Amino acid sequence: MSNEIKNVEYGLEKIFEGAQDFLPLLGTDYVEFIVGNAKQAAHYYKTAFGYQSLAYAGLETGVRDRASYVLQQGKIRLVLTTPLTGESELNNHIVKHGDAVKVVALWVEDARKSFEETVSRGAKPYMEPTVETDEFGEVVRSGIYTYGETVHMFVERKNYTGAFLPGYREWKSDYNPAPTGLKYVDHMVGNVGWNEMNIWVKWYEEVMGFVNFLSFDDKQINTEYSALMSKVMSNGNGRIKFPINEPAEGAKRSQIEEYLDFYGGPGVQHIAIATDDIIKTVSDLKSRGVEFLSAPPQAYYDAVPDRLGVHRDAFKEDIKEIQKLAIMVDADEEGYLLQIFTKPVEDRPTLFYEIIQRMGARGFGAGNFKALFESIEREQELRGTL
Ligand code: FE2
């Protein structure tokens, strides 16, 4: 198997044969949301998820048309941006998609080269390479469109020592809730339209040099009612993983269809965030008001030892604690993983989060798909969208 993961450490070396590292990508730089009220969204992410105040841009820093709050936890940076006037084009994004992920920014060595390489391979430009400077140095950014109105920005920051980007000032707050153990973005999933998954798989292969290292068809991902298909794309060093989902025909409406209807097209469905201690992180998040999907039935937990297989002896967690928190367990050849999914974090049934602790496993919890989707369907039922 040529696409097998050969190295469990996420080094810069290539671990996926067939991937082309003409960019190359060093990691996720930031995720920017366009929201209706960035001040309140920032309060939510600080209070509920334990993000820390990092930087700010707005009227007080000379920006007239928008306000942006930058939050950080571990290696994760969120930017929450809101338009300040009715004239701003950002309003259109909110009307169409609700509060939504607009930018998945990728940290690169060379933002000019990243732009040239991807655009010459067919990417639609979003922002030409642009140099921004302040007293802390310079950042070069460029951007291309991916699915829907979502954008990948390339960020070159090797000559910059400031808090975030030129134009932002450090944000010192008196309100600093403790972090919850969130470490880095493990993967980010995009939902695309009917029969579009393979178009975007090909786009990530050809434009970004990614490889498709895992695939799930509708025979594997289905319940009594609904189905979807998914392919996982990764860059060469494995730091960036983007599964792509499309709906599939089922007896009732696929959760992907529900997303597409409410989001108004393709977009980011969930952001999976890694933790080293999922029991502590999830307990903490629950106590702060983060809502998770309901627990799978008892039969699911009874089957956990079987699902762990050869990794049964390596399983360190207290299964009662795991069940109490509704955390799910899956295993693959290399190890096991623990994961849990939030309910949508906004009023539209669109974006949600996954919290994941990998104990050697490199998969995405395929053994949990059925239980997970049944749980999502219970929510869809309540929303009248199944
Ligand atoms: Fe996921």
Quote the crossing angle between the two packed helices 369-383 and 255-263, to the nearest 10°. Answer: 50
* 41 C-alpha to ligand 1 centroid (Å): 23
Q: What are phi and psi of 315, to 5 degrees?
A: -65, 115
Quote the pTM value.
0.94
> Rounded to an integer, what distance in angstroms lies between the CA atom of residue 261 and that of residue 349?
9
* 31 C-alpha to ligand 1 centroid (Å): 16
**pLDDT digits (tens), the chain, 386 positions:** 333 333 333 345 667 777 887 888 999 999 999 999 999 999 999 999 999 999 999 999 999 999 999 999 999 999 999 999 999 999 999 999 999 999 999 999 999 999 999 999 999 999 999 999 999 999 999 999 999 999 999 999 999 999 999 999 999 999 999 999 999 999 999 999 999 999 999 999 999 999 998 888 877 777 777 788 899 999 998 999 999 999 988 878 888 999 999 999 999 999 999 999 999 999 999 999 999 999 999 999 999 999 999 999 999 899 999 999 999 999 999 999 999 999 999 999 999 999 999 999 998 888 888 888 888 888 999 999 98
* 244 C-alpha to ligand 1 centroid (Å): 10
- Domains in the chain, CATH or no CATH each: 12-18+181-383 (3.10.180.10), 27-170 (3.10.180.10)
> Rounded to an integer, what distance in angstroms lies between the CA atom of residue 35 and that of residue 99?
4
Contact 132, 34 (CB under 8 A): no
* 49 C-alpha to ligand 1 centroid (Å): 18
Does 187 count as an annotated binding residue? yes
> What per-residue confidence (pLDDT) applies to 369?
85
Does 354 count as an annotated binding residue? yes
- Comparing C-alpha atoms, which of 231, 212, 211, 213 is closest to residue 221? 231
> What per-residue confidence (pLDDT) applies to 20?
81
Within 13 A of 301's CA, how many CA atoms are on the CB side?
14
* 59 C-alpha to ligand 1 centroid (Å): 37
* 37 C-alpha to ligand 1 centroid (Å): 27
* 100 C-alpha to ligand 1 centroid (Å): 17
* 280 C-alpha to ligand 1 centroid (Å): 20
> What per-residue confidence (pLDDT) applies to 13?
61
Which residues have C-beta within 8 Å of that of residue 354, sequence separation ≥ 6? 186, 270, 271, 272, 273, 339, 340, 341, 342
Burial of 225 (0-12, 13-18, 19+ CB in 10 A): middle
> What per-residue confidence (pLDDT) applies to 252?
81
* 128 C-alpha to ligand 1 centroid (Å): 31
Does 43 count as an annotated binding residue? no
Burial of 94 (0-12, 13-18, 19+ CB in 10 A): middle
> What per-residue confidence (pLDDT) applies to 14?
64
